[in-house]
Amino acid sequence: MPQVEVIIILTLVGGVGALVGGVLLLLGKKISKGLVHLLVSFAAGALLGTAFFELLPEALEHAEEVANAGGGEINVFLWVLGGMLFFYLLDRGIHWFQYHQKVNKGKHTSVNIPLVILGDSVHNFIDGVVISITYIVNPAAGLITTFATVAHEIPQEIGDFAILLHEGMKRKKVLIINIFSALLSVAGGLLAFFIGERIEGIIPYSLSLTTGFFLYIALTNLLPEIHHEEKEGYAFWESLFLILGIVSIFLATSYIPHG
Contact 133, 196 (CB under 8 A): yes
**Concatenated DSSP letters for the chain?**
--HHHHHHHHHHHHHHGGGHHHHHHHTT----HHHHHHHHHHHHHHHHHHIIIIIHHHHHHHHHHHHHTTS----HHHHHHHHHHHHHHHHHHHHHHHHHHHHHH--SHHHHHHHHHHHHHHHHHHHHHHHHHHHHH-HHHHHHHHHHHHHHHHHHHHHHHHHHHHTT--HHHHHHHHHHHHHHHHHHHHHHHHHHTT-GGGHHHHHHHHHHHHHHIIIIIIHHHHHT---TTHHHHHHHHHHHHHHHHHHHHHHSPP-
pLDDT for 96-129, tens place per residue? 665 555 545 554 444 457 767 777 787 888 889 8
Dump pLDDT digits (tens) for 5-31.
999 999 998 888 878 878 877 777 666
Q: Note the pTM of the prediction, 2 decimals.
A: 0.74
- 192 pLDDT higher than 50: yes
Q: Which residue has the higher pLDDT, 216 or 168?
A: 216
**pLDDT digit string (tens) for 54-104?**
889 888 988 888 888 777 888 999 999 998 998 888 777 766 665 555 545
| Digit-coded pLDDT (tens) for 52-64 | 988 898 889 888 8
Amino acid 227: pLDDT: 74
Domain ranges of the chain: 3-27+34-254
